[in-house]
Amino acid sequence: MTSTDMHAGVLDDLGRRIADGRLPEGSVLTLSGIEKDCEASRTVAREAVRVLETLGMVASRRRVGITVQPRSSWDAFSPRLIDWNLAGPFRQRQLEALAELRVAAEPMAAHLAARRADSRQCAELRRLADRLVDLGGRGLGDSDDYLEADVAFHDLLLAASGNPQLTALARPVRAVLEGRNRLGLTPPLPVEGTLEEHMRVALAVADGDAEAAERCSRSHMRTVWGEVSRTDG
């Protein structure tokens, strides 16, 4: 096993245990304890802790140790944290939180995209919508090809808004779409209306109709929200 693999393994082990509550808020760790528990070197243990600190999940203090921080201080947009949450008992809460965020943010991104997207972006949104309609209509909504097109569609919609804060949401959106697919939560036949809503958003953006783009995106996001809310945790 390479040092990179070892680091990733230790980081995932600690991250999952903190995210799922096995290491609750206030738990105190030490580098020597991590070395022993994970059979890792001091360097690997230290690097894993450093990453967890950047996510707000732990804080290191001299003569105190490495203390697990309250969930409210964690980087909720981190794809790593989203993956850890999806793998544990907080899966449903994570799915609903991201769905609620998308209901709030993506319709505005669609509105702005209709005003700001260039011809290349409009053409690519339409191509991706066509791709989703084709794959979903053939019962391939749970395929890697469908996931790739879906991620690309929403990445591009957020980017076409021209708003860097909205564009930054692409990372957590991508993480939750990929996570649902990996966990087998994406249906082979998309929920009724999903494919049509992708196409309506793409057409409204291409037409420069900001109000229609926002309205269609909101309808799509509410469909997603409803689907996620029915998912068993």
**Tens-digit pLDDT profile for residues 95-116:** 999 999 999 999 999 999 999 9
Residue 17 has pLDDT above 50, yes or no: yes
The reported pLDDT for the residue numbered 116 is: 98
Q: Which of 131, 168, 154 is nearest to 205 (CA)?
A: 154
- Measured distance CA(225)–CA(102) in Å, rounded: 8
- pTM, full prediction: 0.89
The 10s digit of each residue's pLDDT in 105-153 is: 999 999 999 999 999 999 999 999 999 999 999 999 999 999 999 999 9
pLDDT at 197 over 90: yes
pLDDT, average across residues 155-178: 97
Q: Tell me if 186 sits within 8 A of 142, measured CB to CB.
A: yes
Residue 171 has pLDDT above 60, yes or no: yes
| 176-208: burial string, b at 16+ Cβ within 10 Å, e else | bbbbbbeeebbeeebeeebbbbbbbbbbbbbee
Residues ≥6 apart with Cβ < 8 Å to 54: 75
pLDDT in tens, 74-94: 999 999 999 999 999 999 999
CA dist 145 → 93, 170, 202, 203 (Å): 27, 18, 19, 22
pLDDT digits (tens, 9 = 90+) for 22-74: 999 999 999 999 999 998 999 999 999 999 999 999 999 988 899 999 999 99
State mean pLDDT over 167-174. Answer: 96
Provide mean pLDDT across the span 17-24: 97
Q: Note the pLDDT of residue 233.
A: 45
Asked if residue 113 lies in contact with residue 163, where contact means CB atoms within 8 angstroms, the answer is no
pLDDT in the model for residue 84: 97
Q: With bands split at pLDDT 50, 70 and 90, how would you rate the model's confidence at 204?
A: very high
